[in-house]
């Protein structure tokens, strides 16, 4: 059975609240899970202690059993020191598009021309 440690969404519309759960990867996001490991409330301030709460003993148990955390849960575990930090690539998301690059080149050329 492929196990995941992931988020299950709760809360009303536009007011998300997540449970950190251990579940079979084939189950739906908000469906059946084996154990609730903690909570995540994205509406709280980033420095709030109540934003992310986890039962670290149980998380370590599931990791030892071979459960794979999702990207977001892995970030929570890295922040708490339970997992080593991994290098992530930003796959060109911050890079401007072709038209923006062309406009920047034209602007730079125009600025260089006016300085002469």
Structural domain including 47 reads: 3-80
The pairing of beta strand 3-10 with beta strand 68-69:
parallel
Residue 110 covered by a domain: no
Confidence at residue 92, expressed as pLDDT on a 0 to 100 scale: 72
Confidence at residue 88, expressed as pLDDT on a 0 to 100 scale: 77
Confidence at residue 59, expressed as pLDDT on a 0 to 100 scale: 93
Residue 101 covered by a domain: no
Task: Look at residue 41 and tell me whether its pLDDT is greater than 80.
Answer: yes
Residue 74 covered by a domain: yes
Residue pair 21/37 in contact (Cβ under 8 Å)? The answer is: yes
Task: Look at residue 90 and tell me whether its pLDDT is greater than 80.
Answer: no
Exposed / middle / buried, residue 23 (Cβ in 10 Å: 0-12, 13-18, 19+):
buried
Residue 99 covered by a domain: no
Q: Name the residue with higher pLDDT: 90 or 49.
A: 49
Confidence of residue 84 (pLDDT cuts 50, 70, 90): confident
Tell me what percent of the residues of the chain surpass a pLDDT of 70. Answer: 98
Confidence of residue 113 (pLDDT cuts 50, 70, 90): confident
């Amino acid at each position: 059975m492929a196990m995941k440690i992931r988020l299950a969404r709760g809360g009303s519309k536009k007011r998300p609240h997540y449970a950190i759960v251990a579940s079979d990867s084939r189950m739906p996001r908000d469906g059946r899970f084996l154990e609730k490991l903690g909570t995540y409330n994205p509406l709280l301030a980033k420095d709030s202690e109540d934003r992310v709460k986890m039962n670290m003993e149980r998380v370590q148990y599931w990791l030892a059993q071979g459960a794979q955390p999702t990207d977001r849960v892995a970030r929570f575990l890295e922040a708490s020191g339970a997992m080593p930090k991994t290098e992530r690539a930003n796959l060109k998301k911050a890079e401007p598009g072709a038209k923006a690059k062309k406009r920047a080149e034209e602007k730079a050329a125009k600025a260089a021309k006016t300085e002469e």
